[in-house]
């Protein structure tokens, strides 16, 4: 009826403040506090007192990059990116999680630019114990240079889910029981960089970077790391925590992406694996 008792109002206020506080704790990304420059010096810029916008740029001399100060072992990592617009051929924007050392684990997103009007390629990979070679590539269902979109990694002990605007585009399941290593002991940092790869990135290196358009700029905002992987996972899965599988809605979303937007899958590349596909491809 729109009427609220004084107590009700107080309770609501307390709830509201509580929620706001929690939100600012969980969604506390600050590019000054949470990240450090890895290369490119002042080609990396941070904006605002709260430091929630960051830009990387690339010119003929250098690209630029950053990494998180903290390490994460499981959790949900979100970043909003607006990719290099116009003629971005030859540029690669990488956004990934990685541990260190020869037997490192890594969870990759890479965005390969293209000539004006042609689509980006989203390249994904998973390294475990130093071994990668698990590429899947996608197109996007929107222009990633026009607005910010959220790219996330949801990583728990039984699966890694790659998300684009909360839609799963790829799931890498834990198949340790079948002898496939799974990242679960080495904490990872979050990395991002913008660099030039016109040797190979665009149409196999045929299209070179147009340096007259430099500097190229990619935009980042609303970084968030939620270490509570269990609660972050429940929105996507059903079933007992031991045997997590995507719920029906997310399985449908994933199938939609795989059907219409997947352009490469190592698990179906017969030429590459004439002796048979890697173990994890069989499940």
Ligand X SMILES: *[C@@H]1O[C@H](CO)[C@@H](O)[C@H](O)[C@H]1NC(C)=O
The residues assigned a catalytic role are 106, 110
Residue nearest to ligand X as judged by C-beta position: 118
Q: How many other CB atoms are found less than 10 A from the CB of residue 253?
A: 18
How far is it, in rounded angstroms, from Cα 56 to Cα 50? Answer: 18
Per CB under 6 A, does 98 bind ligand X? no
Buried b (16+ CB within 10 A) or exposed e, 136-152: bbbebeeebbeebbbbb
- Which C-beta is closer to ligand X: that of 89 or that of 232? 89
Q: Are 170 and 245 in contact (CB under 8 A)?
A: no
Per CB under 6 A, does 233 bind ligand X? no
Nearest distance from residue 95's CB to ligand X, in Å?
16
Nearest distance from residue 164's CB to ligand X, in Å?
17
**3-state DSSP helix/strand/coil % of the chain, to nearest 5:** 25, 35, 40
Q: Which residue shows structure tokens 């000539």?
A: 115
Interface mask toward ligand X for 60-79; x: CB under 6 A: --------------------
- Which C-beta is closer to ligand X: that of 20 or that of 268? 268
Nearest distance from residue 196's CB to ligand X, in Å?
13
Say how many residues make up the chain: 283
Q: Report the Cα 181 to chain-centroid distance in Å.
A: 21
30, 38, 85, 118: which one binds ligand X (CB under 6 A): 118
Per CB under 6 A, does 93 bind ligand X? no
Between vectors from CA 258 to CA 252 and to CA 259, what angle results, nearest 5°? Answer: 85
Query: Minimal CA–CA distance to 213: which of 200, 236, 196?
Result: 196
Q: Which two tokens stand for residue 55?
A: 């830009």
Q: Which residues in the 166-205 window bind ligand X by CB under 6 A?
A: 201-203
Per CB under 6 A, does 137 bind ligand X? no
57, 99, 114, 156: which one binds ligand X (CB under 6 A): 114
Nearest distance from residue 90's CB to ligand X, in Å?
9
Per CB under 6 A, does 157 bind ligand X? no
Per CB under 6 A, does 28 bind ligand X? no
List interacting residues with ligand X (CB under 6 A): 112, 114, 118-119, 121, 201-203
């Amino acid at each position: 009826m729109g009427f609220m008792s004084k107590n009700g109002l107080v309770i609501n206020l307390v709830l509201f403040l509580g929620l706001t506080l929690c939100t600012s704790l969980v969604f506390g990304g600050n590019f000054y506090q949470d990240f450090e420059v890895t290369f490119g010096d002042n080609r990396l810029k941070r904006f605002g007192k709260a430091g929630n916008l960051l830009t990387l740029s690339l010119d003929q001399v250098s690209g630029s990059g950053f990494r998180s100060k903290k390490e994460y072992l499981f959790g949900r990592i979100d970043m909003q990116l607006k990719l290099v617009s116009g003629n971005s051929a030859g540029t690669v924007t990488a956004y990934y999680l990685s541990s260190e050392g020869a037997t490192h684990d890594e969870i990759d997103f890479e965005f390969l630019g293209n000539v004006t009007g042609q689509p980006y390629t989203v390249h994904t990979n998973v390294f475990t114990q130093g071994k990668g070679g698990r590429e899947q590539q996608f197109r996007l269902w929107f222009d990633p240079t026009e607005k910010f979109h959220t790219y996330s990694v949801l990583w728990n002990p039984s699966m890694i889910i790659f998300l684009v605007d909360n839609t799963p585009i790829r799931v890498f399941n834990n198949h340790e029981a079948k002898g496939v290593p799974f990242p679960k002991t080495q904490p990872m940092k979050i990395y991002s960089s913008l660099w030039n790869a016109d040797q190979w990135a665009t149409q196999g290196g045929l299209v070179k970077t147009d340096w007259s358009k430099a500097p190229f700029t990619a935009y980042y905002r609303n970084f968030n790391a939620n270490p509570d992987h269990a609660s972050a996972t429940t929105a996507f899965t059903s079933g007992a925590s031991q045997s997590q599988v995507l719920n029906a809605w997310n399985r449908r979303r994933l199938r939609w992406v795989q059907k219409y937007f997947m352009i490469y899958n190592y698990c179906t590349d017969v030429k590459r694996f004439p002796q048979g596909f890697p173990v994890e491809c069989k499940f």
